[in-house]
Amino acid sequence: MTQGLFDAFYLPPDVERDADTSVQRFGPPHDAIELRLATVSPASIETWVEAIRSARAEHLARRPAAEIHRVLERVAQRFLDPQSPVRRNAIAWLAHSGRFSTPMIERALTDTFGPLSAGGVSRWVASEVGSATALDHPTPDRKGIPRQAFGPEWMLQIYAGNVPGLPVWPFYSALAMKSALFAKASSQEPVLAPLLARTIAEEDRGLGACIAVVWWKGGTIELDRAAVRRAPAVLAFGGENSTMSIARETHPEAKIVIHGSKVSVAYISRASLTRPGLGSLAARAAFDVALYDQQGCLSPHAFYVERGGDVGPAAFASALGGALETLRDGLPRREPEASQAARVQLYRAQAHFEEATGSRGTQVLASSEGTDWTLVYEDGARFEPTPAYRTVRVHAVDGVQEVEAALAPAARFIEAIGLEAKGRERVALAAALAAMGVPRIAPLGALQSPSLVGTHGGLHRLLPFLRWTTVETGPRSSAVRRPHRPKRKSGRSR
């Protein structure tokens, strides 16, 4: 099924007929797949944007939002159903494009589409907008004031390819608020966005007409400019360099959300370090590290572990090492490219150097073969992101103040903190960590499964793009009766 050529773009049928395409090889030379790509020019971008804008006017703008949401939920179901050709096709192509192992991809699809099926889109929209009908006509909000929400006419979305499934909620967010979508796929993961577009089009031709997914080389200024210049809304993921140039080119009135590079860390309180609980704790921690080979912004790079528990930080470190070893087979890693493995090796050598010469009690634990996992244990908190691919640091600490001080200079690079603590202690620790402005605090083992009704990068997913119309009913009758002046006892006597 994955032999041959993959169409790594999606254009509505009417415009696809006129699009030029070319074939490019993708991936390492020994294991490349061939991608058919639409040839992108400033003029073609303009044509495609015009096409999705007029399709939106025809198919999306006046359609009941709930109906659109149900289509999206059915699409999610097709990506979840093990028997569905859509899911099998997606797994096969994602595996073939070579960034993640098959078990990891299956997991990613399940985790990504699960919350979007069976009423999930409606619940998500309701959590931000109040109710789906608020996207159709003025609908009383919680205070009874009728309000209507309008999504942008169209959105430009620019994806990163670090974790599989990344384009999914952005894709859904645009359509859920009745915006047409012009998406730039990632060269790292060019598969899922066009597959998703095609599946939506199969499920509902009208919706499919409002989507275009293409790829061009990031930093190609005239193309970036053509796409960004007139976009009323931009949602972009990626490194600072690429996103900054996008930000510079946007229309002054455009609504822009850019999710830049982040990492996550974890904090474990001494009360959570019990002998009976150690195995499960280490397993959950290892799972958060191993999932997506530590490529995501929700992947922890450091564990800050309090001293003085039933078991110490060093015992946690060796249990985590054991759990990472178990996941070598349980959740296999895709072998990194040579340059990435070279970085892991350099990081290991550096840690060995510190082990030999440093004063922080550094110890290195690592997989017996290869770069499968690396753990650097040391005394005291500091923040030093790792080269990923299952490379973590474990720091023995005395308390949360020490960690706050270490993280403070880097706090804006931290997306989430996995927190292991219970009861009142958890409340207090969460408050201390939240005070640093970290967007998300979550239990270990769930770090990589953020709730849709939560935020991403500290921002809601729909609200930043919505414009509202409020229908005021005029001054309340009581306000009319009471003129705006101090009350007097015999106020009305004149």
Partner 1 sequence: MTAREIPGTDPTRKMEADLVRFISEAGWEEAHTRRAEAAFSDLAIRSFRIQCDTIPEYGAYARHVGRWSGRSGDWREIPPVPCSAFKEHGLSAARAGDGAAVRGEAPASPAVTFETSGTTITRPGRVQLKSTRLYETSLLKSFARHLLPDGARLKIIIFGPTRAESPHSSLWFMADRVAGRLCDAPIWIVEHGEPRWERADAELARSRDDRVPVLLLGTTLLLRAYVERCDRRGLRFALPPGSRAMDTGGAKGTRVELLRNDIAASFHSVLGIPPTHLVNEYGMAEMGSQFYEDTLLAAHERRPARAGFVIPPWVRTRVLDPETMLDLPEGRPGLLVHYDLANLDVPLAIQTEDVGAVAGNRLTLEGRLREAERRGCSLPFEQFLERERGARADPAPGMPR
Binding residues for partner 1, rule: CB under 8 A, are: 159-163, 166, 186-188, 217-219, 237-242, 259-263, 294-297, 299, 301, 335, 337-339, 341-347, 349-350, 352-353, 355-357, 369-371, 384-388, 410, 413, 415
* Three-class DSSP category at 37: strand
Cβ-based nearer residue to partner 1, 81 or 354? 354
CA 322-328-331 angle, to 5 degrees, is 115
Which runs of E-coded beta strand occur in 273-346? Answer: 300-306
Cβ-based nearer residue to partner 1, 85 or 239? 239
Cβ-based nearer residue to partner 1, 33 or 86? 33
Least spacing, CB of residue 456 vs partner 1, in Å? 9
Least spacing, CB of residue 27 vs partner 1, in Å? 13
Cβ-based nearer residue to partner 1, 282 or 388? 388
Q: Tell me the one-letter amino acid at 281.
A: L
Least spacing, CB of residue 4 vs partner 1, in Å? 25
Least spacing, CB of residue 163 vs partner 1, in Å? 8
Dihedral over alpha carbons 83, 123, 121, 417 (to 10 degrees): -90
Least spacing, CB of residue 12 vs partner 1, in Å? 26
Cβ-based nearer residue to partner 1, 138 or 370? 370
CB 102 within 8 Å of CB 109: no
Estimate the crossing angle of helix 192-203 against helix 65-80, to 10 degrees.
120
Cβ-based nearer residue to partner 1, 199 or 294? 294
Q: Tell me the one-letter amino acid at 81.
A: D
Estimate the crossing angle of helix 278-290 against helix 313-330, to 10 degrees.
50
Phi and psi at residue 196, in whole multiples of 5°?
A: -65, -45
Cβ-based nearer residue to partner 1, 81 or 337? 337
Count Cβ neighbours within 10 Å for each residue of 166-205 and write b for 16 or more, e otherwise.
bbbbbbbbbbbbbbbbbbbbbbbbbbbbbbbbbbbbebbe
Least spacing, CB of residue 50 vs partner 1, in Å? 28
Least spacing, CB of residue 383 vs partner 1, in Å? 9
In sequence order, what are the residues at sequence separation of 6 or more whose Cβ sits closer than 8 angstroms to the Cβ of residue 296?
162, 163, 448
Cβ-based nearer residue to partner 1, 47 or 242? 242
Q: Is the dihedral of CA 387, 167, 39, 198 positive or negative?
A: positive
Query: How many CA atoms does the CB half-sphere of 289 hold within 13 Å?
Result: 34
Least spacing, CB of residue 390 vs partner 1, in Å? 13
Q: Which two tokens stand for residue 439?
A: 């967007």
